[in-house]
Amino acid sequence: MKVLVATTNMNKFFEIQSIAPSWIELLSLSQFEQVPKVEEYGNSFVENSIIKAVNYANFFQIPVIADDSGLVIDALDGKPGLQSARFMEGQPYRIKMTRILEQLKGVENRNAAFHCAASFYDPKTSILLSFEGIIKGSIALEIRGEGGFGYDPIFVPLHRTKTFGELPQDLKNAISHRARAFRGLFHLISSVFHSRGPMPSGDRAG
Amino acid sequence: MKVLVATTNMNKFFEIQSIAPSWIELLSLSQFEQVPKVEEYGNSFVENSIIKAVNYANFFQIPVIADDSGLVIDALDGKPGLQSARFMEGQPYRIKMTRILEQLKGVENRNAAFHCAASFYDPKTSILLSFEGIIKGSIALEIRGEGGFGYDPIFVPLHRTKTFGELPQDLKNAISHRARAFRGLFHLISSVFHSRGPMPSGDRAG
């Protein structure tokens, strides 16, 4: 089965490819010339990942997987959350992270979690599958490490002392919210498409 | 597995129950005293059914199935579509159907389709499954039949001459968009929860 991954970020694409079962051939958005702009108006990671998957799938008429992720900080009422990418838009992540550390100055509850919702939609059968991965942890007292991307250098996973910016890439990729989301999603896709054969025919329309 | 059906319409509930596999025990919203109001701001049947399923599931903390459906008329640019229930809100369906027949007066293309998206969300595993059922047909020249509900008396399924309001209830329930959506959805739920055992543990968060 050919499946389009709705991302132009090749790091993310290869991370997802390393988790995908061998019977799924992944395509990336960068292989297409014309790519529609999809507005993310959902109120949760799950909704936004579905909006992306469904819209790209209807446009390209092939199965699509898409994800939406963000950092949820308890003491900031869940912010930046859904706005993780758009928070202080245009500013480098070093500036965004500095702003978050300022907001948490003297705050004792530094609990936080990375969320990632991954969704699959096949426009031919109208089957939609989705799974959310979460990794809990806390916000470090300062920016640490050069690895990863986004907010990785201020996030310390539970039971660890190093930030996602300091941990080896392969370890981070094994335990991350994105890895959990895509492992769960590929498990669902396999359950539905690989082990039981196709849906009973004529079920959708006639 | 206990699953809440997000509807207070008992006709719909029993229709869904007749399709459900025996290992799923369905609960109805009318068994609960406090029911949250969920706003349907999606741009498709799939999105709206997911918004309902996810919000009710997070509120009640049990798996929920929800659906969203509507009548899509080609010559009216897909209307009433997502607005099928809210079109001329407060008016009886007889008045709504009369208005649609007026709008289609002299129009040759009377093609239409009933759509139903059915979604399942389990808040414990974060698994979300969705399937859309469609039945194609056309808009009759007049209101015919007393059976069914909503726009049934002006909808003639493809290869039939009677409207959904005239066809026997059990035949309508066997071929309807809602039956197709829920058959597909229960097939997905069975594939994921019944035939392969649970998801690998620890996949979501830790």
Strand stretches in B99-203, DSSP E = 111-122, 127-139, 155-157
Q: Is A203 a residue whose pLDDT tops 60? A: no
The encoded tokens of residue B47 equal 């999105």
Q: In Å, how far is A181's CA from the nearest CA of chain B? A: 7
Contacts of B50 in chain A (CB under 8 A): 46-47, 50, 128
Residue tagged 């498990």 (tokens) = A187
The encoded tokens of residue A190 equal 């396999």
Q: What pLDDT sits at residue A173?
A: 84
Q: Which band of pLDDT confidence, cut at 50, 70 and 90, is reported for residue B199?
A: low
Strand stretches in chain B, DSSP E = 2-5, 25-28, 64-73, 111-122, 127-139, 155-157
Element (H, E) at A111: strand A111-122
Residue tagged 């093609």 (tokens) = B111
d(CA B24, CA A95): 51
Peptide bond into B80 cis (omega under 30): yes
The nearest alpha carbon in chain A to B202 belongs to A180
**A54/B44 touch (CB, cutoff 8 Å), yes or no:** yes
Give chain B's contact residues with A (Cβ, < 8 Å): 41-44, 46-47, 50-51, 54, 113, 117, 119, 125-136, 158, 175, 180, 183-184, 187-188, 191-192, 195-196, 199-200, 203-206
Q: What pLDDT sits at residue B186?
A: 96
pLDDT digit string (tens) for A150-168? Answer: 999 999 999 999 999 999 9
ipTM here: 0.81
| 3 state SS of B143 | coil
Beta-carbon contacts below 8 Å between A and B: 126
Peptide bond into A80 cis (omega under 30): yes
Beta bridge partners of A142: none
- For B117, left (φ over 0), alpha (ψ -120 to 50), or beta? beta
| 3 state SS of B81 | helix
Query: Between the ranges A8-12, A18-22, A169-173, where is the mean pLDDT highest?
Result: A18-22
A125 contacts A54 by C-beta, under 8 angstroms: no
The residue length of chain A stands at 206
Q: What pLDDT sits at residue B201?
A: 47
Q: Is B73 a residue whose pLDDT tops 80? A: yes
Average pLDDT over residues B75-100: 92
What's the pTM? 0.87
Element (H, E) at A48: helix A45-60
Q: What pLDDT sits at residue B89?
A: 87
pLDDT digit string (tens) for B23-47? Answer: 999 999 988 888 888 888 888 999 9
**B47/A50 touch (CB, cutoff 8 Å), yes or no:** yes
Element (H, E) at A68: strand A64-73
Mean pLDDT, chain A, rounded, equals: 91
Query: Between the ranges B20-34, B150-164, B185-199, where is the mean pLDDT highest?
Result: B150-164
Q: Is B21 a residue whose pLDDT tops 70? A: yes
**B136/A205 touch (CB, cutoff 8 Å), yes or no:** yes
Q: Which band of pLDDT confidence, cut at 50, 70 and 90, is reported for residue B173?
A: confident
Pairing of strands B64-73, B111-122: antiparallel
From residue A54, give the alpha-carbon distance in Å to each of A51, B22, B96, B126.
Answer: 5, 31, 31, 19
Mean pLDDT, chain B, rounded, equals: 91
Contacts of B130 in chain A (CB under 8 A): 126-130
Q: Which of A62, A48, A129 is nearest to B42 (CA)?
A: A48
User: CA B122, B124, B125: angle at the middle one, nearest 5?
Assistant: 75
A59 contacts A123 by C-beta, under 8 angstroms: no
Based on the residue annotation, tell me whether B67 is a catalytic residue of this protein. no
The closest CB to that of A134, out of B127, B183, B204, belongs to B204
The closest CB to that of A133, out of B50, B191, B204, belongs to B204
Q: Which of B27, B99, B20, B109 is nearest to B62 (CA)?
A: B27
B7 contacts B30 by C-beta, under 8 angstroms: no
Residues ≥6 apart with Cβ < 8 Å to A171: none
Mutation for B interface: A119, A127, A160, A186, most B CBs within 10 A:
A127
| 3 state SS of B169 | helix
Residues ≥6 apart with Cβ < 8 Å to B164: B145, B147, B148, B152, B153, B155, B156, B157, B172, B176
The residue length of chain B stands at 206
Structural domains present in chain B: 2-194 (3.90.950.10)
Q: Which of B192, B58, B46, B68 is nearest to A121 (CA)?
A: B46
d(CA A168, CA A172): 6
